[in-house]
Every structure is written in structure tokens, then in C-alpha cells.
Amino acid sequence: MTVCTGNICRSPMSEVVLRDRFAAAGLHDEVVVDSTGISSEEHGNPMDRRAVAVLLENGYDDPALRGHQARQVRSVDLLTHDLLLAMTAAHAGALRRLAGADASLSARVRLYREFDPAAPVLRPGDPEHLLDIDDPWYGDRGAFVACLAQVEAAADAVVAHVVAELNAR
């Protein structure tokens, strides 16, 4: 599950990209990809039209482009998903707070850009926000193009991570 603020830009964009990559890897029947937001402010809303346009321009065609309805993450989502990919350190913090004292649930929370081979490698003491994916909502079309580039840069490594986890089972 990918997680951003309102579940209308970054997390549904990454959901579409990851679903495409898992399908290309032949895993569309084994891996379920979805998305949520930490806020309820956009609940029920479709994916941002600018996000849809950029995804379509880049060859993505997924039911989520037309049928997406934003939803807020719930504590049960932490139980039903093996990997929760936060778009920012603030989102990761919200997910960890939702996990409470359950260390096994907190361990499922990762920053999406941790998987980008070109992203900075965090050392002990480095702030997690160095791996944030900027919110394109406040920008122009270029902000959505940049967001998609960041999402795509990490997608193959996310797939490789999940494949390794599946093989370890």
C-alpha cells in the first residue's frame, strides 16, 4: 500500500506505476497494490486530473485512473498489508503512530524513496525527510512529471524487494 496525504496525487500515482511493474513481472495475481491517505479531507474524491493526465501521457492505463476514490488509511490496513510505502517522513510517522506499540506493524512502514537507487542513503541521525517525494498538488504540470519520475525511479526496486520477500516465504 502506498500512502500520501489525501490519496489523490502521489499514492494513487505510485499505485498505478507499481501495479504496472508487478504485472510486467508476471505477479499481478500474487501482489495486490492499493493506496490510501493519512487524511480524510479528500475521502471519496477521484485522482487529481493532473496526475491522471501525466500517467496517461506516459503510457499508464489502469482502472484506478478512472475509478479511484480516495480513502483514509485505517489501523486494519496495517494488519492486511505486508508493506506500507510512505511518500514522506510525516506520512511514515503517522503510520507508525497508527501501529502504536506493535513493532511488527511499524516494521512494515518504509519510505517509498528508500528503494530509489539514486536517492540519498540515510545514515544514523539523518532526517527521514531527505527522502520525501514532494507534493505536486501545489505545483504545475512539471511538479506532476517530477513526482512520476521519482515514483518510477524506485518502482523496480520495490518490485525486487517484494519478489525477494515472496521467495523467502
Residues 41-63 have a mean pLDDT of 96
The confidence score (pLDDT) of residue 158 equals 98
The confidence score (pLDDT) of residue 64 equals 82
CA dist., res. 150 & res. 144, Å (int):
10
Q: Is 10 a catalytic residue?
A: yes
Task: Let me know the angle formed at the C-alpha of 126 by 125 and 131, rounded to the nearest 5 degrees.
Answer: 150
Give the residue among 165, 168, 153, 167 at the shortest CA–CA distance from 82: 165
pLDDT tens digits along 84-111:
999 999 999 999 999 999 999 999 999 9
Please check whether residue 156 is in contact with residue 114, taking contact to mean a CB–CB distance below 8 angstroms.
no
CA dist., res. 102 & res. 82, Å (int):
14
Considering the candidates 9, 10, 19, 113, report the single residue annotated as catalytic. Answer: 10
Residue 47: pLDDT band (50, 70, 90) is very high
Give the residue among 82, 137, 83, 143 at the shortest CA–CA distance from 110: 83
CA dist., res. 151 & res. 157, Å (int):
11
Total number of domains constituting the chain: 1
Considering the candidates 102, 110, 134, 135, report the single residue annotated as catalytic. Answer: 135
Q: Is 4 a catalytic residue?
A: yes
Supply the mean pLDDT for the chain.
Answer: 96
Can you give the CATH number for the domain in which 23 is found?
3.40.50.2300
What burial class does residue 17 get, using C-beta atoms within 10 Å of its C-beta: 0-12 exposed, 13-18 middle, 19+ buried? buried
CA dist., res. 124 & res. 146, Å (int):
28
Structural domain that includes position 36 = 2-168
